[in-house]
Amino acid sequence: MTYRKTGKRITVARTAKRRVSVNRRKPNYTFLFLVFVVAFLVAGTAAFSLTTPNLLVEEINVHGVDLCSRAAVEAAAQVALGQNIILLRKSPIIAQIESISEVDHVKMGRAYPDRAWVRIWERKPDAVLNCDGRLFLVQKNGLVFHESDCASQGITLICAANSGKIKVGQKVCSTDVRHALKVMEQLRREHLTAAKISVDPEGDICLNMGSDFYVKLGQPEEIPRKVSLLQRVLSWEPMIAQKALYLDFSCPSAPVWKPKVVAQAAS
């Protein structure tokens, strides 16, 4: 822009701006071709993987079955047979197997190209419940998950006169059985074990500690206090299990015990 003075006027002369030419980048045809080839190969591979019969599940390996029915587990797992191993939905199969009462949790995986596997972890019993001669494995929360043929070694046996109706897969509804489970848990907290916990028709609780040594707890009131007293007595006199026929904590403020010598002389 320039200014010129002509007489009394000032005129302005505008100069046109020069246009700067922009250099446009040419398309990289080699890169575009490679992108096209890669996309084609990926699409082809995906289509082949989803349609080829070589990736159909032909075998399922099941591990960890001991208590539960293997037939029931295999029936639930066989839903995967014939499915594409990539598209296989594991969650419905896992949910079906976990609905079996003995099963705690399940894992399922793929073994390419045409196999799948199922790993089962079963529930661990905290006690064996004797109900009219039938034995049931039960957890500390009262869940009955399996009917057994024999009592397991090292697991507390619970015998309750009023055990109520027992059904596998459900929790016990008997108050006496729940009291026995509460005693068992309290014994574990005090690092004690009982071979057998009995509850008579009146609700009195008796422990068989093994070696013909019994502990009477009486009614299920003050269970923590009574078990704590038992632990203190056994710590103070470890040999009392050999000397006593039984300890009686039915009245925790006045515990009593009966020596085996007196019992033998009386007989």
Tokens of residue 221, six digits: 């009131």
Three-state SS for 53? Answer: helix
Q: For each of the chain's 267 residues, which pLDDT tens digit applies?
A: 555 555 555 555 555 556 655 567 777 777 777 887 787 777 766 666 666 778 889 999 999 999 999 999 999 999 999 999 988 999 999 999 999 999 999 999 999 899 999 999 999 999 999 998 899 999 999 999 999 888 777 899 999 999 989 999 999 999 999 999 999 999 999 999 999 999 999 999 999 988 788 999 999 999 999 999 999 999 998 888 888 888 999 999 998 988 887 545 454
Look up the pTM and report it.
0.77
Q: Which residues of 87-119 are buried (b: 16+ CB within 10 A; e: fewer)?
A: ebeeeebbebbeebbbbeebebebeeeeebebe
247, 236 contact by CB (below 8 A): no
At position 104, the amino acid (one-letter code) is D
Which are the contacts of 42, defined by CB distance < 8 A and separation ≥ 6? none
All domains of the chain in start order, with CATH = 55-122 (3.10.20.310), 127-266 (3.40.50.11690)
